[in-house]
C-alpha cells in the first residue's frame, strides 16, 4: 500500500495567486478585445500581471514535476 504524500501548501498558495492573476488579465483582455472597453493591457500594470502569472505558472510546473 502506498503512503500518502503531504502537500506543500506554499506551492498551492502560489498556484492560487497565479490563477487569480491570470483570471484578472484575461478579464481585462476580454473587456478590451470583445466589448471595446478602453483598457490598454499591452503595457503597465495589466501587462505585468499577465507576464507574472505566466512565469509563475511555468515555474510552479517545473517545481511540481521535480518534486513528484
Query: Tens digit of pLDDT for each residue in 13-44?
Result: 999 999 999 999 999 999 999 998 898 888 89
Q: Which of 65, 51, 48, 59 is nearest to 14 (CA)?
A: 59
Which sequence spans correspond to the domains of the chain? Answer: 21-67
Query: Tens digit of pLDDT for each residue in 47-65?
Result: 999 999 999 999 999 999 9
**Contact in structure between 25 and 53 (CB atoms under 8 Å):** yes
Helix (H, G, I), strand (E, B) or coil at 67: helix
Q: Which residues contact 53 (CB under 8 A, 6 or more apart)?
A: 18, 19, 21, 22, 25
Amino acid at each position: 500500500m502506498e503512503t500518502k504524500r503531504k502537500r506543500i501548501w506554499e506551492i498551492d498558495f502560489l498556484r492560487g495567486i497565479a490563477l487569480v492573476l491570470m483570471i484578472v488579465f484575461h478579464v481585462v483582455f476580454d473587456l478590451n478585445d470583445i466589448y471595446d472597453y478602453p483598457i490598454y493591457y499591452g503595457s503597465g500594470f495589466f501587462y505585468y500581471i499577465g507576464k507574472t502569472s505566466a512565469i509563475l505558472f511555468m515555474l510552479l510546473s517545473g517545481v511540481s514535476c521535480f518534486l513528484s
